[in-house]
Amino acid sequence: MAQKTASQLKTTLEAITTFPYPIRFYTTKQKFPIYPYCEILKTQSQSTDENVTDITKTDAFSITLYVRYIRDFGTEEANQTAIEDTILTSLEGFDFGASKLFMETKRWNRQALQRPFGSTSTIVITITDRSSTSGSGVLGAEMSLTIGQGSTNTVLKVLSLKEDIGPAMTSHYDDTRKRFVDPDNFNEGEFTLEYENTSTIETEIDGYRDSGNTIACRLTKKNTNKDFNGVFGATSRTGQYDKIERAVTKIYLIPS
């Protein structure tokens, strides 16, 4: 996770030209402020939470807008809301250095000022990133499945993956009741793939399944590619009122 600085955020916000009025931006607390102004502070340097398999890294910033009311309240509130929305939109497009989008929270909080009469708006930004502790492990966020390898193809972001490969095993026993394991039929590979479902993806996957044709695919794990030919099997879909619909599809590898 590449660390970002308050100065980088300041440069980004200073480039905005659509604020209702000019705003001064600082990366330090102001002793003798001139309103309106904005303080950008890094409230948490990069911190880590490490276990045997992965490292979770977090960064945090706060941006506080100070506004002195000199016009009617309705105008001041409308302008302040417009500034908050503009800053939030800019932050949503800012690259905070995470390798993937694991978690970014941005929350505004507004409080009244007594002296001078006005208010402050503070947005707290927290960024979460994850990586392999060993450096060799592969997170699900570092996997993707490319369907088709021609001029046009579809890339699925892997939400979860289960892979079965190798021979099945049967057992037999001798006269002393000792157990012996015997390799049985060999499975070239079977993927159980979970991904975000959309109407376009659903139509495409259903077409592959109904045709029964062998489809060229590429599974990418942390920049390592595995090309294979597969037949698409059954798909189960799960929808929930407050969550994006997900689908789980089985793909059976065909010997080359």
- Domains along the chain? 6-132 (3.30.2000.30), 140-254 (2.30.110.20)
Please count the helices (runs of H) and the strands (runs of E) in the chain.
3, 12
Contact (CB, 8 A) for 195 and 156: yes
Contact (CB, 8 A) for 43 and 62: yes
Q: Encode pLDDT of 32-79 as tens digits.
A: 999 999 999 999 888 999 999 999 999 999 999 999 999 999 999 999
Distance CA 56, CA 166 (A): 34
Least confident of 61-65, 98-102, 203-207: 98-102
* pLDDT class of 149 with cuts at 50, 70, 90: low
Contact (CB, 8 A) for 131 and 99: yes
Q: What is the pTM of this model?
A: 0.79
In 3D space, the residue among 154, 152, 156 whose CA is nearest the CA of residue 144 turns out to be 156
Whether pLDDT at 207 is above 70: yes
Distance CA 63, CA 68 (A): 17
Peptide bond into 116 cis (omega under 30): yes
Distance CA 189, CA 233 (A): 13
Q: What is the pLDDT of residue 16?
A: 95
* pLDDT class of 151 with cuts at 50, 70, 90: low
DSSP code, position 79: H
Q: What are phi and psi of 192, to 5 degrees?
A: -115, 110
